[in-house]
A = this chain, B = another copy of it.
Amino acid sequence: MSKVFEPSDSLILNDIMRYRRDVRGNRFIDKALLDETLEQILDAALLAPSVGYSQPWKFVVIQDESIKQQVFDSFCEETKHASTLFSGKKEQDYQQLKLEGIIEAPINIAVFYQPSQKPVLGQTSMAEMGKFSVVCAIQNMWLMARALNVGIGWVSIIDPQKVKEAVNAPQTSELIGYLCVGYVSEFLAEPELKQTGWNKQKHKQDIVFKNKF
């Protein structure tokens, strides 16, 4: 018999999704993450779907301050360049946002995709499916963290090559996500980039189509 979920279960899931936030360094608090909690978050990753059951993921749990510093240095370099891509008020707004929590979060997790040398079932027509499996694992972690009242922030303004060097990753692996993990002072009621007016929420009727665009 397959497990049957109750309507209340989907409401809880909806709440977990709705109250999940991207957490940056101004919200993490100085409190160590329990080992058991970290394991629950990693276990959620391993329950993600993967193309051809390939499980093409690797996770590096980082607490070493010198590694965090190397990643933070890469962020500083990349964000300096990035801010120049925006102009006028957007450039000012960009510079005022806190966009990572690498040092503040007690745990960082670098998540890699390790391509297979053999053909992978389901990945023969769409080569990116392996990477997408790793993203599903990250989203599982993000949701499980929120259900455990733990914050995660995904930092993408970094040079993947520098992160790979910092953690001694094989050249054949690809960095998919760099996560900052820890307890928080608060979860914002809404996404910060919505609250601050950086972008507006899109309406469902503008992004859902019936049969054809």
> Contact residues of A with B, CB < 8 Å?
2-5, 9-10, 12-20, 22, 40, 42-44, 46-49, 51-55, 57-64, 67, 78, 81-82, 85-86, 94, 97, 99, 119, 121-126, 128-129, 131-132, 135-136, 138-140, 142-144, 146-149, 154, 156-160, 167-170, 175-177, 184, 186-187, 191, 193-194, 198-199, 201-202, 204, 207-213
Partner of A2, one of B52, B78, B143, B186: B186
In the assembled complex, the Cα of A213 lies from the Cα of B159 at a distance in Å of 18
A42 with B209, Cβ < 8 A, contacts A124-B81, A126-B160, A128-B131 known: no
Which residues of the partner chain B approach A159 to less than 8 Å between Cβ atoms?
Answer: 125
**Would B147 and A85 count as touching, CB distance under 8 A?**
no
Contact sample, A vs B, 13 pairs, CB 8 Å cutoff: A2-B19, A9-B15, A13-B44, A49-B139, A52-B198, A63-B211, A78-B125, A82-B124, A132-B132, A132-B135, A136-B138, A139-B139, A139-B140
How many of these chains are in the complex? Answer: 2
**Would A167 and B14 count as touching, CB distance under 8 A?**
no
**Would A177 and B132 count as touching, CB distance under 8 A?**
yes
A139 with B12, Cβ < 8 A, contacts A85-B119, A148-B5, A202-B55 known: no
**Would B49 and A125 count as touching, CB distance under 8 A?**
no
Which residues of the partner chain B approach A17 to less than 8 Å between Cβ atoms?
Answer: 44, 47-48, 140, 144
Q: Which 3 A-B pairs have the closest CB atoms?
A: A53-B193, A10-B147, A82-B124
A55 with B16, Cβ < 8 A, contacts A60-B212, A122-B99, A124-B82 known: no
Chain B's nearest CB lies how many Å from the CB of A146? 7
Which residues of the partner chain B approach A12 to less than 8 Å between Cβ atoms?
Answer: 5, 9, 12-13
In the assembled complex, the Cα of A63 lies from the Cα of B209 at a distance in Å of 11
Partner of A187, one of B2, B10, B53, B144: B2
Which residues of the partner chain B approach A210 to less than 8 Å between Cβ atoms?
Answer: 60-61, 63
Which residues of the partner chain B approach A67 to less than 8 Å between Cβ atoms?
Answer: 211-212
